[in-house]
Structure 1
């Protein structure tokens, strides 16, 4: 906070004139303080208390110039603010809190990133689902083929009790295999539709 003025040349000239007046009734204490300020070289400061005394004297004596005229080329003296050193414990705690907040922010940004990612096309879990799906399709097709072959074999072997000729046995086996194959194909299509329709 400002507590003094940095006086300019105009102040020094006017106050020197005031001090040189022999008939002035300037108090001795104020005269000494002002003469010390005027005689200083370089940056000279005028404390507010002396400025108040000077203003009181000028208004009381009816001088033709005012204090603000004296201080026209002056400026406020603002002392440098000295910062107290920071507490090392506080600095350490603040650094710890900053690191914790940065870690939480990082975890929030990376929580949906899977570290088991195999490549850009998907994760290992996706690959496992695709393998299981392909395995199910292969098993289903193999089951379909085994069912058709077994139906043909059973029909061919069982028709020997009805037909004695081979062409009749083959035709009856083909008819039975076609009926079972169509039924199996219907069930297969319905199953595949259900798997593909799942979200």
Structure 2
């Protein structure tokens, strides 16, 4: 935090012999502190520059207070013309190597944990996708098996009808042959339907 200012040439000249502050008859203590801050020895006309011209805010406040109490026509902002607030350079303390190494280790651990978390999420997503494809494959196989079963049912019933119809041509008349073929086909169809239903119940039980 700034607590001093770099005095300009106006303030330095005002404090010197024949300067603007000479008629104000500054208190001896205040003048001595100002001259010390400005790097000016009493009865000397040399005014060094640089760090020797650093004046604290306290001295500036004391000077301002004295001028106000005296009713001086000399204003502080005029004396501070060319002056600047002194901002000291912030010196960064050296970093502790042990602390730096520990922080680097923590950063690496956090990065590894984050990587594992991301990888875990990706693996779970892949598993879910794999499960979806597996379920789809099971459904396709089930539909395929159902189609084959229905096709076998139709073929079996049709074969029973044809075989009965052709086999009874030497025994029954035309109408009787058709009726016998229908009866045999119906019996075979019911048997096939019973077997198909039991098989489907078994598959549903496994699921």
Quickly name the TM-score band, shorter chain normalised.
0.5 to 0.7
Secondary structure, counterpart of 2:126 in structure 1: coil
Contact 1:148 1:181 in 2 (8 A): no
Structure-2 separation of matches of 1:48 and 1:93: 45
What RMSD over aligned residues (CA atoms) do the two structures have, in Å? 4.5
The reply to whether residue 114 of structure 1 matches residue 115 of structure 2 is no
Q: TM-score, normalised by structure 1?
A: 0.59
The reply to whether residue 69 of structure 1 matches residue 81 of structure 2 is no
Residues 126 and 93 (structure 1), Cα distance of their counterparts in 2 relative to 1, 3 Å cut: same
The reply to whether residue 123 of structure 1 matches residue 120 of structure 2 is no
**Range moving further from structure 2, 132-141 or 47-56:** 47-56
Contact 1:9 1:73 in 2 (8 A): yes
Q: Which residue of 1 aligns with 2:113?
A: 100
Q: TM-score, normalised by structure 2?
A: 0.57
Match of 2:156 among 136, 146, 149: 146
Unaligned runs of 5+ in 1: 189-199
Structure-1 separation of matches of 2:90 and 2:64: 29
- CA displacement at 1:126 relative to structure 2: 1.8
- CA displacement at 1:136 relative to structure 2: 2.4
Residues 103 and 11 (structure 1), Cα distance of their counterparts in 2 relative to 1, 3 Å cut: farther
- CA displacement at 1:47 relative to structure 2: 2.0
Between Structure 1 and Structure 2, how many residues are aligned? Answer: 180
- CA displacement at 1:26 relative to structure 2: 4.4
Contact 2:39 2:47 in 1 (8 A): yes
Q: Which residue of 1 aligns with 2:179?
A: 172
Contact 1:148 1:177 in 2 (8 A): no
